[in-house]
Amino acid sequence: MGISVMRSELVKPSEDTPQGPFWLSNLDLGVRSGYSPTIYLFRPNGKGFFSVDVLRTALAKALVPFYPLAGRLGTAPDGRLEIDCNAKGAVFVVAQSDAVLEDLEEGFSPASKAMRDLFVPPYPKEVGPGAPLLLLQVTLLRGGGVVLGTGMHHYALDGRSSFHFIQTWSSIARSGSIGAAIEAPFLDRSSLRARSPPVVLFDHSHEYLGPPTTVNNNNNNNNNNKAPTELAGAILRVSSAQASALRARTGGESLFRSLVSHIWRCACKARELPHDAKSRLYTVVDMRARLAPPLPGAFLGNAGARTSVTAKVGDLVAGPLSFGARRLRVATGKGDDYARSLVDYLETVMTSPGSGSGPGRELPDTDLRVISWMGMASHDADFGWGAPVLVAPAAMSYTWFVYSVGDGTGDVAVAVAMKEEDQLERFKELFFDDKEMAAWPDHACESVGEMKAF
């Protein structure tokens, strides 16, 4: 598919905004350095669909309360990374493509670097000081559909904050102002400062001291480096009826824990792991409501803490589905003491101020990463022409990485990325046909052959 850029500019806040340094916490600097690309697909909806002028005007207004996103990554005198609030603006690109929406819906792969290169603005060559924090591209498709591609610098915000920004931008585009139901971003990060002296009560080394790797953060269209190996990826749809049946199989555990237990089991089987091997599952827990005092839901920044839990493969694949869900509860049940310990731990292990301390890209073949966007406002992105028909990560650079995304209706999309196509096909087969899913209602099940993008 071809694509041509019609317009590329910097959109600045529509009003004067505070200038100067904006402090980044250890939770900000402990995440993966670089951008988190996301794709939104929209079906055409009448005349004037996705007016670029409306979007641009609304973006300038949204950047007033979210003014740090209009700045650049900077460096404090002590070398620690921070945000330079200078109102230079967000990158805003308008493009057109000969692609058709239906083809993207059915053939979308969350692990496709080519998809990111087409529909997300090119990343800057350097993702450190001087890098913009917000990249946006609106691509008009043949037949009237639209792709909104976003690249947000992970140091500036996490998934919940990203969706809050899109929710605010779309609300302004829809009505001309931020709706009363949408909170302004909460910018105070002082409660996330490390203690003096640091007090580390937990072992965080599994989650934050993985082997170093070289990450290619650049797009093909702005560098000549060899692209990383393309991963096999897919989006699997779980209906609300299937989700309810999964919860019943785990005795009423949360949907996230029930779904991840099934994913964990299928991943072990797809890789044909020996029953005496140990598997570690990594996830991220949103600590906003768990801190004492809690952070508001509208907190702008990173409030996630990586956690993990292990289990013997034989127990996961031969035991009841509730076993994995109960093990996951250990990882997701962390509170204020864990978050404070993590902030202090990162203070002690960062090799230089703001250097970050994330795990390596590759995990052992026994392990798995799962990130949840469930419960977030991922689909609350109606710019005035209807909600998106798909929201998904635009590029998943890690192997054995899974996102779960709720759409507000009870359905869930599971985005997966794996190293080998045959492992992915085996995983999909197990995901829908595993014997543990015999309890799924017949009318809710879909065969692998009928499976299509969500």
For 194, residues 6+ apart whose C-beta sits below 8 A from its C-beta are: 26, 343, 344, 346, 347
Locus of tokens 């992970």: 154
Alpha helices in 223-299 (DSSP H): 240-249, 255-270
- Write the DSSP symbol of residue 450: G
Q: What is the DSSP letter of 65?
A: T
Tokens of 406: 């709720």
Catalytic residue chosen out of the listed positions 84, 117, 154, 344: 154
3-state secondary structure of 56: helix
382, 411, 433, 434: the active-site residue: 382
First-to-last alpha carbon distance for the chain, in angstroms, is 21
For residues 18 and 84, give the distance between their C-alpha atoms in angstroms, rounded to a whole number: 10
Report d(CA 163, CA 161) in Å as an integer: 5
Instruction: Report the sign of the C-alpha dihedral through residues 236, 241, 244, 248, in that order.
Output: negative
Q: Are 234 and 109 in contact (CB under 8 A)?
A: yes
Of 402, 383, 400, 96, the closest CA to residue 392 belongs to 402
Pair of tokens at residue 73: 């990554």
Q: Is 382 a catalytic residue?
A: yes
Sequential DSSP letters for 22-51:
EE--HHHHTSPSSEEEEEEEE---STTTT-
Active site residue 28: no
Supply the residues annotated as catalytic: 154, 382
